[in-house]
C-alpha cells in the first residue's frame, strides 16, 4: 500500500526517535535505520539529503511542540509565576514522554553528528530561557521586586534546573523521571525567584 507524501518522512523520524530511546545510546547509522524500516539506505535519502537533515527534522518537531504550547501559556495566563510553573512543567513532561527527544535535547544523540545540530539545540534552549525571563519580568510587575533583581540569572537558573533533570533522566537509563519530585521542587524554585522580591 503506497504511503501519502510526507507520511514516509514522518515514519523515518518516528523510527529514528524510537531508536534513540535505547539507554545504551549506540551511534545510529543510516544502515541500522534502514534495517528497522525494512528499506534501503537509498530510499531514506529520497526523503532526507543526509542523516543531519533527519536530526534537524526531529529538532523542528521538538521546537514546534514546545513553543506551540509555550505561546499558548503566555497568551492565556496573565500571572508571571504561573507562566513559569507551566513552562517548566511542560519541559519536564515533554522529556518524560519523549525519551529519544530527550537525548537530542541534551546533545547526547548529537555527538559525532554535524555541529550545526548542537547549535540548533543551543538556540532552542536560548529561546526557552528568553520565555522564562519574560515571564519573570511579568511577575516583577505583579510582585514588588528589588530594583537590582537579575532576571537573566534567574531565567538561567531555571533553564539549568530543567536541563539537569533531562540529563539525569537520560543518564539513569530513563529510570529517574523528570517529573519525580516536581511538586516538591517547584515551591523551592518559586521561593528562589521570590527571594528577589521585597523592598528595594
pLDDT in tens, 16-59: 999 999 866 567 888 999 999 889 889 898 899 999 999 999 99
Backbone dihedral angles phi then psi of residue 145, each to the nearest 5 degrees: -85, 155
1 pLDDT above the threshold of 50? no
**What is the rounded distance in angstroms from the CA atom of residue 59 to the CA atom of residue 53?**
10
Q: Which residue has the cell 535505520?
A: 33
Please report, for residues 89, 94, 127, 133, 155, the alpha-carbon distance to residue 159 in angstroms, rounded to integers and kept in the order given. 12, 15, 10, 10, 6
- pTM here? 0.91
- Tell the CATH superfamily of the 51-196 domain: Tetracycline Repressor, domain 2 (1.10.357.10)
**Poorest-pLDDT segment among 28-32, 104-108, 113-117:** 28-32
Percent of the chain past pLDDT 70, that is, above it, reads: 94
Radius of gyration for the chain, computed over Cα atoms and rounded to the nearest angstrom: 19
2 pLDDT exceeds 60? no
Give the residue carrying C-alpha cell 528497522: 36
Mean pLDDT of the chain: 91
Across 169-175, average pLDDT? 94
In the chain, where are the structural domains located?
Answer: 51-196
Residue 145 pairs in a beta bridge with 197
Distance from chain centroid for Cα 169: 13
C-alpha cell at 60: 523542528
165 in Cβ contact with 95 (< 8 Å): yes
Helix (H, G, I), strand (E, B) or coil at 145: strand
Q: Is 197 helix (H, G, I), strand (E, B) or coil?
A: strand
State the pLDDT at residue 99.
Answer: 94
pLDDT digits (tens, 9 = 90+) for 123-171: 999 999 999 999 999 999 888 788 788 999 999 999 999 999 999 999 9
| Per-residue model confidence (pLDDT) at position 185 | 97
- What's the pLDDT at 6? 77
What's the sign of the alpha-carbon dihedral 108, 110, 112, 117? negative
Amino acid at each position: 500500500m503506497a504511503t501519502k507524501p510526507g507520511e514516509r518522512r514522518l515514519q523515518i523520524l518516528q523510527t529514528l526517535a524510537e531508536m534513540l530511546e535505547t539507554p545504551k545510546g549506540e551511534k545510529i547509522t543510516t544502515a541500522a535505520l534502514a534495517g528497522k524500516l525494512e528499506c534501503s539506505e537509498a530510499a531514506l535519502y529520497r526523503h532526507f539529503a543526509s542523516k543531519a537533515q533527519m536530526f534537524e527534522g526531529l529538532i523542528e518537531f521538538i521546537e514546534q511542540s514546545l513553543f506551540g504550547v509555550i505561546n499558548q501559556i503566555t497568551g492565556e495566563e496573565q500571572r508571571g509565576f504561573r507562566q513559569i510553573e507551566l513552562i517548566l512543567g511542560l519541559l519536564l513532561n515533554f522529556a518524560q514522554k519523549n525519551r529519544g527527544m530527550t537525548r537530542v535535547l541534551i546533545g547526547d544523540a548529537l555527538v559525532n553528528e554535524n555541529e550545526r545540530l548542537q547549535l540548533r539545540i543551543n538556540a532552542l534552549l536560548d529561546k526557552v530561557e528568553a520565555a522564562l525571563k519574560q515571564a519573570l519580568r511579568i511577575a516583577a510587575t505583579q510582585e514588588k521586586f528589588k530594583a537590582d533583581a537579575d532576571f537573566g540569572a534567574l531565567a538561567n537558573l531555571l533553564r539549568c534546573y530543567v536541563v539537569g533533570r533531562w540529563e539525569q533522566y537520560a543518564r539513569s537509563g530513563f529510570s529517574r523521571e523528570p517529573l519525580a519530585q516536581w511538586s516538591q521542587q517547584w515551591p523551592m524554585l518559586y521561593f528562589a525567584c521570590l527571594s528577589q522580591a521585597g523592598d528595594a
